[in-house]
Amino acid sequence: MSQSGADTEQHQKIFKKAYDFTKADEIKEMGLYPYFKPLQATDGTTVQIEGREVIMAGSNNYLGLTNDPRTIEAAKKVLSVYGTGCTGSRYLNGTLDLHLELEEKLAEFIGKESCVLFSTGYQTNEGSIQTIAGRNDIIFSDRDNHACIVVGTQASNAKTVRYRHNDMDHLRAQLEKADPQAGKIIVTDGVFSMSGVIADVPGLVSLAKEFNAGLYLDDAHAIGVIGEGGRGSASVFGLIDDVDLISGTFSKSFASLGGFIVGDREVIEYIRHHSPAHIFSASMPPANVATVLKSLEILQEEPWRLERLEEISNYMRTELRNLGFNVWTSQTPIIPVVIGDMFDCFKFWKALFEEGVYSNAVVPPAVPQNQALLRTSYMATHTDEHLDQILSAFRKVGIDRGVIDQNGHSLIEQS
């Protein structure tokens, strides 16, 4: 074979997996593809998709601030002062006084000594975990943790032990088997992004203390959502002082993009000076930072948003259950509606969209086999009318698709 022919064969071999991937095209041909839908306009609670207006029941815009005139104005205001971007990393030429102001205010808000910003929430966990955990350390990671935590553990040189979801007995067993001389850190979502379940923070704190392990909570879906004043999952239990590191994102309640981690000053300074994701990424653009600063201010000045969010979450969880839907054990504005089969889930998603409601279809491997679901999530600015329209659509589609009956009973196998 000529060199050219060998090169072609090797080229085809490396990309074979890509050319063999046809599932997405098959689902598109069936008219059931629910992903990458371009939004043409939005006011937050409603969106324009494919030329029609639908209620958004799948956004992480928990406080409803992405279209608030005050956050928009804050973003506009800094453009004329700082421009559109920083064109460099925080380590070199990309630090603004706005970054330092936000770090100080976030540390004070959550109740920790120090804070460091990252360009995305994903980078925050990926970059912090691999920096803190080294070759002689062990990471104990919940099996349902977000992908960015998983990647952070994989990128570290530490040994990773995965324990059953929110199972403190299994975590204890894994800690007991571990090398007592190794450095240890327990890493978990504070609120799990598919189920809406809050981590067992009291159990985690107790085990961390008993086995001299660090404790790291990813509060992407908890800061600005639950806890005293929106301070997150540890705050729900009054345990912020007992958690070593708390991370969060700005792409949800804070109506922007970026991430952060707070903790003791020495630990944060170590991350600041050693995390590749921080050192080698361009810093958050000024408009993004200004948006977060304004969102944090609104969160503290308007507690009604958190109260309304909790009221809506409790109402929707109860009413969806009353209709006969399986919503697992959700405790937050994330409320899954389990459909079961993947294609049944896609068909339900499409029918719901045609009824004027947008949700998120989640299928394996993001959830267990035969547990495909529609991930719904709610915001403080949803009106009662929005909520009742969502429930009406779910009831109609649920009955039409044979998921529930007219009397509020589930017609699918529960898991």
DSSP string, 137-186: EEEEEETT--HHHHHHHHHSSSEEEEE-TT-HHHHHHHHHHS-TTSEEEE
pLDDT at 10: 64
* Nearest one of 85, 156, 108 to 262, comparing CA atoms: 108
**For the residues 252-262, what does the mean pLDDT come to?**
98
Active site residue 252: yes
pLDDT at 2: 46
Active site residue 193: yes
Of the given ranges (2-6, 157-161, 283-287), which has the lowest mean pLDDT?
Answer: 2-6
Structure tokens at 118: 């990252």
Q: Which residues pair with 358 in a beta bridge?
A: 56
Catalytic residue among 193, 295, 313, 359: 193
pLDDT at 5: 52
Is residue 143 over pLDDT 80?
A: yes
At a CB cut-off of 8 Å and minimum separation 6, what does 227 contact?
Answer: 233, 234, 235, 236
Who has greater pLDDT, 1 or 190?
190
pLDDT band at 6 (very low <50, low <70, confident <90, very high): low
Instruction: Output b/e per residue, 264-284; b: 16+ Cβ within 10 A.
Output: eeebbebbbeebebbeebebb
Catalytic residue among 112, 184, 252, 294: 252
Active site residue 11: no
* 49-74 pLDDT tens trace: 999 999 999 999 999 999 999 999 99
Instruction: Give yes or no for a contact between 353 and 376, defined as CB atoms under 8 angstroms apart.
Output: no
pLDDT band at 7 (very low <50, low <70, confident <90, very high): low
pTM exceeds 0.85, yes or no: yes
Cα angle for residues 127, 131, 133 (degrees, 5° grid): 120
Domains of the chain and CATH, by start = 22-56+304-400 (3.90.1150.10), 69-301 (3.40.640.10)
pLDDT at 9: 61
pLDDT at 337: 98
* 153-183 pLDDT tens trace: 999 999 999 999 999 999 999 999 999 999 9
pLDDT at 335: 98
Catalytic residue among 112, 146, 221, 278: 221
pLDDT at 12: 78
Give the C-alpha separation, 230 to 39, whole Å.
Answer: 29
Is residue 391 over pLDDT 50?
A: yes
pLDDT at 413: 76
* 207-249 pLDDT tens trace: 999 999 999 999 999 999 999 999 999 999 999 999 999 999 9
H helix or E strand, kind and range, residue 340: strand 334-340
pLDDT band at 256 (very low <50, low <70, confident <90, very high): very high
Is residue 138 over pLDDT 90?
A: yes
At a CB cut-off of 8 Å and minimum separation 6, what does 311 contact?
Answer: none
Is residue 1 over pLDDT 50?
A: no
pLDDT at 415: 56
Who has greater pLDDT, 261 or 7?
261
Cα angle for residues 188, 194, 196 (degrees, 5° grid): 75
Share of the chain above pLDDT 90, in %: 95
